[in-house]
Structure 1
Amino acid sequence: MFKKIKSYVILCALISIVLVIAGCGAKQNTSQNDSNGTKATSTTEQTQQPAEAVELIVSAAASMTDALTEIEKAYEANHPNIELSFNFGASGALQQQIEQGAPADLFLSAAVKNMTALVDKELIDTNQQINLLANELVVVVPADGALAIENVSDLAKAEVKTVAIGIPESVPAGSYAKEVLTSANLWDALQSKSVQAKDVRQVLQYVETGNADAGFVYKTDALTSDKVKVAFAVNAASYKAIQYPIGIVKATKHSKEAEEFYTYLQSQESLDVFIKYGFSVPN
């Protein structure tokens, strides 16, 4: 009986020793795994790393300022890792900046010719650009103005001292205005009273402040200000159709994010915002 008890005690001791050795080995393996950078926790317990923040630089026509500012808020709210940085200006000036290597991920122009120039120079892929929006040209006057201006010919009246237009060579709205005045044989006649602006928003500002009696702007710009009123809508047959193409710059370092925003701008959600600000969608 004593021998049986003794044998049982010895067996239990041996089992205990084996368990202790096994436990030490498991602990050692865990330490080794940790030192090698392998997490001991399960996959479900691993901490999710936030997506890397990306800044997208968007060069856009000045006339798109208000609509894009609203779109920016909605897009960033749903894409917390994206920061949209807008570079607003005259389409011609923005085109030149991109040609000279200025950083830009997307280009939104107020004229097809500026986008075509970048496509021709292989700075934008023809398959990654599209005509997104359309606009109209109008002539605005100060909201409290008393001048009777109802058509293009009225701009030649002696009481109209100053007419503001964008620089035709770099501002699409100015180029369209030149077309209109040329077709009416008034371009040369109005040179003495015209003042040129760096972009369409500056034209609007000249009229708002009374530094110009009238100015050529887009319908969308006129709708943003209560300091001006539309004197008349310019005959659409007297200038080329106003189209707004958008495109992805080939030099972008964030192709995936640029393509996602490019697609979003074509969504109904974005188009509804543009329409609210007076743009229309081409057929």
Structure 2
Amino acid sequence: MLRRALLLLLLPLSVQAQELTVSAAASLADAFKALAPGFEAAHPGAKLRFNFAASGQLLQQIAQGAPVDVFASADEATMDRAAEQKLIAAPSRRTFARNELVLVTPPDGTLASLADLSQPGVKRIAVGKPATVPVGRYTQQALESVRLWQALQPKLVPADNVRQVLDYVARAEVEAGFVYRSDAQLAKDRVRVVMTLGGHEPVRYPVAVVSDSRQPALAQAFIDYLLGKPAQALLQQQGFGAP
């Protein structure tokens, strides 16, 4: 009887030992959910748990002690801050995907250029919050490069992550917004891509094992899987570029 009780107490621990928590940028949600079955099949007993949000918000959670094994950011700058705070195992860091910044409107939108954003008919433009949302920082850089960032300030509607920007545009709550090409591809029936933007840092996605990971070997295995052919093919199907 005592032995059975001990086994019941130990069972949840053994199950938990194979659970891997991955905190990833919001733009990775659909792609990571799609590749999860392949990783779990290749690693019997492993179970992925995802936490999707803006990269800056995820970094704050990790810094505050959230139990995370893998961190995947939508920009190098946020991962650099993680490294500076010694929150990641630096040797594990890899770039596994790229993306592009695009201007989108509702399907019936008539905008054709960035200059059109200054038209009186454009009253609301959704952008990620530059302080915590990488797509917002890329947007600010792109608009500053054509001297529109300050001029458009009264029209900007801040969003907590790129998917919120996408939702604002898809529901026609704004006349325009800035998202990644992969997000626009997912909502191709609900948004129209006006143009691809330049004038910003390259959109690169780094991933790393979190220093306090309880499953560092399995976390590294997940990173290796991201760089493998099946995961890379899936990511490209979802609109991401090769690293």
TM-score by length of 2: 0.91
Measure the CA separation in 2 of the matches of 1:232 and 1:252: 40
Measure the CA separation in 2 of the matches of 1:125 and 1:81: 24
| Aligned counterpart, 1:274 | 235
Alignment-mate amino acid for residue 232 of structure 1: M
Matched, 1:184 2:146: yes
SS at match of 2:74: coil
Measure the CA separation in 2 of the matches of 1:153 and 1:146: 14
Q: Percent identity?
A: 40
Deviation digits for residues 98-145 of structure 1 (CA, Å, limit 9, x no counterpart): 1111110000000001111111111112211011111100011111x2
Q: CA deviation at 1:79?
A: 2.8
CA contact (8 A) 2:73 2:79 kept: yes
SS at match of 1:251: coil
Matched, 1:208 2:170: yes
| Aligned counterpart, 1:79 | 43
Deviation digits for residues 152-173 of structure 1 (CA, Å, limit 9, x no counterpart): 1111111111100000000000
SS at match of 1:124: coil
Q: How does 1:45-194 map to 2 (within 5 A)?
A: 52-53=14-15, 54-143=18-107, 145-147=108-110, 149-194=111-156
Measure the CA separation in 1 of the matches of 2:210 and 2:31: 21
Alignment-mate amino acid for residue 119 of structure 2: K
Q: Choose which of 157, 161, 183 in structure 2 pairs with 1:199.
A: 161
CA contact (8 A) 2:109 2:175 kept: no
More relative contact order, 1 or 2 (CA 8 Å, 6+ apart): 2
Q: CA deviation at 1:266?
A: 1.0
Alignment-mate amino acid for residue 122 of structure 1: K
SS at match of 1:223: helix
Measure the CA separation in 1 of the matches of 2:240 and 2:44: 28
Total equivalences in the alignment: 229
Alignment-mate amino acid for residue 115 of structure 1: M
Q: CA deviation at 1:146?
A: 3.8
Q: CA deviation at 1:77?
A: 3.0
Deviation digits for residues 31-56 of structure 1 (CA, Å, limit 9, x no counterpart): xxxxxxxxxxxxxxxxxxxxx43111
Q: CA deviation at 1:82?
A: 1.0
Q: How does 1:178-257 map to 2 (within 5 A)?
A: 178-225=140-187, 226-234=189-197, 236=198, 238-257=199-218
SS at match of 1:211: coil
Change (3 A) 1:279 1:146: closer
Measure the CA separation in 1 of the matches of 2:22 and 2:153: 34
| Aligned counterpart, 1:12 | none
SS at match of 2:120: coil
Deviation digits for residues 147-194 of structure 1 (CA, Å, limit 9, x no counterpart): 2x1221111111111100000000000000011111211111111111
Measure the CA separation in 1 of the matches of 2:113 and 2:217: 48
RMSD (Å) for aligned C-alpha atoms: 1.5
Q: Show structure 2 runs of 5+ residues with no match.
A: 1-13
| Aligned counterpart, 2:5 | none
Measure the CA separation in 1 of the matches of 2:148 and 2:156: 11
Alignment-mate amino acid for residue 78 of structure 1: A
SS at match of 1:244: strand
TM-score by length of 1: 0.78
